[in-house]
A and B are shown apart, each in its own frame.
Chain A
Amino acid sequence: MKEKTVVEIKNIGMIYHTLEGETEAIKDINLNIYEGEIVGIVGPSGCGKSTLLSIIAGLIKPSTGKILINGEEIQKSCKNFGYMFQKDQLFQWRTIIENVVLGLEIQGKLNNLAYKNAEEMLENYGLGDFKHSYPNQLSGGMRQRVALIRTLLLEPDLLLLDEPFSALDYQTRLAIADEIGIILKQERKTALLVTHDISEAISMSDRVVILTKRPASIKEIINIELSCPTGIRTPMKCREAPEFRHYFNKIWKELDVHV
């Protein structure tokens, strides 16, 4: 691959200290993420996937190693990230449009043009009629879409998705994953998707990184090449690809799940 590297993760390690002792959460992680790709991260539950995302976002300082974004080392949480959480984290006291422009407001970038742009984006993603509604008037899927728009408006170089669909019911989850997958490709966004759903990882990602049990390190990186029936790659269509099962079984074996 000759594409531009957006993120370089170099020798990241993380140790948590508590009064009872120390726990090594992450060990020696090295990974490059290229422009425009979606990288899925799967691993046993509690292995430190979310910790890794927080480190990349600059919310936690790693014990060792460093993160380079576009070749520069990050100091603290800077503005070229978009972070999506398990829950949509919409502020229930703000209307949808006020929620969407929250990031711009914080960064002091909210002007008339940006506001119009936000309205347009809501319109484009079928939320135009709801811009003056409050979050509790929207369905879970719509709310997650609002959260995505809030993130995209900041035009981040890198999107960090921390199990963004896991709070939704199954049907909504499939639909919204499909939709967001399409949007991410359309807007040519680079994204890191943490999930515990193997199918979701395969259907949305260009590469899937499998982590080991705690302390998490990279076990394997699998390139996902699916021959989608219609030729256009959407997460939903990808699930019909003949290679899908093969990848699923491979990742399942690598994860080595014992209950």
Chain B
Amino acid sequence: MSNKGISKEHEKYLIDVKRKNRSVLLAQISILVVALLLWEIAAHFKWIDTFLTSYPSSIWKLFIEYSKNGNLFYHVGISVFETVVGFLAGTLLGIIIAIGLWWSDFWARVLDPYLVVLNSLPKTALAPIVIIWVGAGYSGIIVTAITVSIVVTIMNMFISFKSVDEDKIRLLKTFGASKFQVLKKVVIPSSIPALISTLKINIGLSWVGVIVGEFLVSKAGIGYLIVYGGQVFRLDLVMMSVFILALISALMYKIIAVIEDKFIKWQQ
């Protein structure tokens, strides 16, 4: 679109849209600032018990301290590593199994009831078993993260594979395509949107798996900090860990969204 020849009315419309966007952003930031400010003031004037609630400036001080002595990066690094590995492995394995089910009608039907049961089961209930079987180190935590995300991945991807337009497959068959070509040329590409939304779900689920795993056994990681802080009533430590957790998982979600934009250019 050219910038020349914009009518007065259109100019006004554009300014209007911008102004609205700005006020939304402003309101979003204000909520955060006001909440933190109120919290700080309430703590300062002893309206709330800081032993139970901690307060922003103390959390911030702790954050600076943990950053300086490197403890923070150590714990965050471990949790992020476990999450990323669990996320990638869970997603990849899930997709491979979904492809297997798509390939074989027989096995898809045989395994259907098992998947339904596994899907409705809260996977965190399996965490103690997984940790006993696999071990109490990173591997146990990573496998816990995988168990949480893999079933949803299988279900979502399988449904998406199955919902590919029958005529598109027929079209490829008239070209003489093999089953593998059908998979590669139409089934997988048309499931990209489903894949992206699965990735977004899995980021959150992998974090659930990792944090639960760390609650149970770990000696390091964000989940460990939260549990430890809770046990010794260091609420500033708990709060800081939760804030960092929120920030990092939001960041990971954002990364997926950027990948999505790159991939789905044809949807504009």
* Bound form: Cα–Cα A196–B99 in Å: 39
- Whether A93 touches B167, Cβ cut-off 8 Å, given contacts A81-B174, A136-B268, is no
Which of chain A's residues have a CB closer than 8 A to the CB of B181? 106
Contact, CB under 8 Å: A93 / B185: no
- Chain A positions within 8 Å of B265 at CB level: 134
Which residues from B are CB-within-8-Å of A54? Answer: 170
Q: Are B175 and A79 in contact (CB under 8 A)?
A: yes
Chain B residues near A83: list those with CB within 8 A: 170-171, 174
Q: If the complex has contacts A59-B170, A106-B181, A136-B266, are A91 and B175 also in contact, measured as CB distance less than 8 A?
A: no
Q: Does A103 contact B (CB under 8 A)?
A: yes
Contacting pair A134 B167 (CB below 8 A): no
In the complex the two chains form, is A107's CB within 8 Å of B175's CB? yes
The secondary structure that dominates the B interface is helix
Task: Write out the residue numbers on chain A whose beta carbons fall within 8 Å of the beta carbon of B190.
Answer: 91, 93
Q: Within B168-223, which residues are at the interface with A (CB < 8 Å)?
A: 168, 170-177, 181, 185-186, 189-190, 192
Q: Which residue of A lies closest to B264 (CB)?
A: A93
On chain A, the residues within 8 Å of B189 by CB distance are 91, 93-94
* CB proximity of A194 to chain B, nearest CB, Å: 14
Given contacts A87-B167, A106-B181, contact A93 B174 (CB under 8 A): no
Q: How far is the CB of A192 from chain B (nearest CB, A)?
A: 13
How many residues on chain A are close to B (CB under 8 Å)? 26
Query: Is B261 interfacial (CB-CB < 8 Å)?
Result: no
Residue contact B192 to A93, C-beta cutoff 8 Å? yes
A238 vs chain B, min Cβ distance (A): 29
In the complex the two chains form, is B165's CB within 8 Å of A89's CB? yes
Residues of A within 8 A of B185 (CB): 91, 102, 105-106
A19 at the interface (CB under 8 A from B): no
Minimal Cβ-Cβ distance residue in A for B192? A93
**Which residues of chain A in 146-184 are interfacial with respect to chain B, using CB atoms and an 8 Å cutoff?**
154
If A79-B176, A106-B175, A136-B268 touch, does A91 touch B186 (CB 8 Å cutoff)?
yes
CB <8 Å contact, A59 and B165? no
Interface pair A89/B167, CB less than 8 Å apart: yes
Distance of A83 Cα from B174 Cα, bound (Å): 7
Q: Contact: A59 with B266, CB < 8 Å?
A: no
What chain B residues lie within 8 Å of A154 (beta carbons)? 175
The digit string for B144-185, where 1 denotes a CB below 8 A from any CB of A, is 000000000000000000000101101111111100010001
Could you tell me if B175 and A85 are in contact, using CB atoms closer than 8 angstroms? no
Q: Is A25 an interface residue (CB 8 A)?
A: no
Tell me how far the C-beta of A257 lies from the nearest C-beta in chain B, rounded to whole angstroms: 27
Cα–Cα, bound, A77→B182 (Å):
14
Contact B266 A134, beta carbon cutoff 8 Å: yes
Alpha-carbon distance between A86 and B268 when the two chains are bound, in angstroms: 25
User: In the assembly, what is the distance between CA of A94 and CA of B266, in Å?
Assistant: 8
Complex Cα gap A172–B177 (Å): 31
Q: Given contacts A91-B186, A93-B192, A134-B266, is CB(A82)–CB(B174) below 8 Å?
A: yes
Residues of A within 8 A of B177 (CB): 106
**B268 contacts A77, CB within 8 Å?**
no
Chain A contacts of B175 at CB under 8 A? 79, 102-103, 106-107, 154
- CB of A26 within 8 Å of the partner chain: no
Cβ of A139 under 8 Å from chain B: no
Query: B165 to chain A: which residues have CB within 8 Å?
Result: 89
**A107 contacts across to B, CB distance below 8 A:** 175-176
* Cα A151 to Cα B171 with chains together (Å): 10
Residues in B with CB closer than 8 Å to A91 are 168, 185-186, 189-190
Contacts of A136 in B (CB 8 A): 266-268
CB neighbors of B among A84-104 (8 A): 85-87, 89, 91-94, 102-103
A54, B170: Cα distance in complex, Å:
9
Closest CB in chain A relative to B110 CB, distance in Å: 20
Q: Point out the residues of chain A lying under 8 angstroms from B266, CB to CB.
A: 92-94, 134-136
B67 to chain A, nearest CB (A): 44
**A100-128 Cβ-contact flags toward B at 8 Å (1 or 0):** 00110111000000000000000000000
Selected A-B contacts with CB under 8 Å, 26 pairs: A59-B173, A77-B173, A79-B175, A83-B170, A85-B170, A86-B167, A89-B167, A89-B168, A91-B168, A91-B185, A91-B186, A93-B189, A93-B266, A94-B266, A102-B172, A102-B185, A105-B185, A106-B172, A106-B175, A106-B177, A106-B181, A134-B265, A134-B266, A135-B266, A136-B266, A154-B175
12 extra A-B contacts, CB within 8 A, seeds A81-B174, A93-B266? A54-B170, A59-B173, A79-B175, A79-B176, A85-B170, A86-B167, A89-B168, A92-B267, A93-B189, A107-B175, A134-B268, A154-B175
- Nearest 6 Cβ contacts at the A-B interface: A83-B174, A106-B175, A134-B266, A103-B175, A106-B177, A93-B266
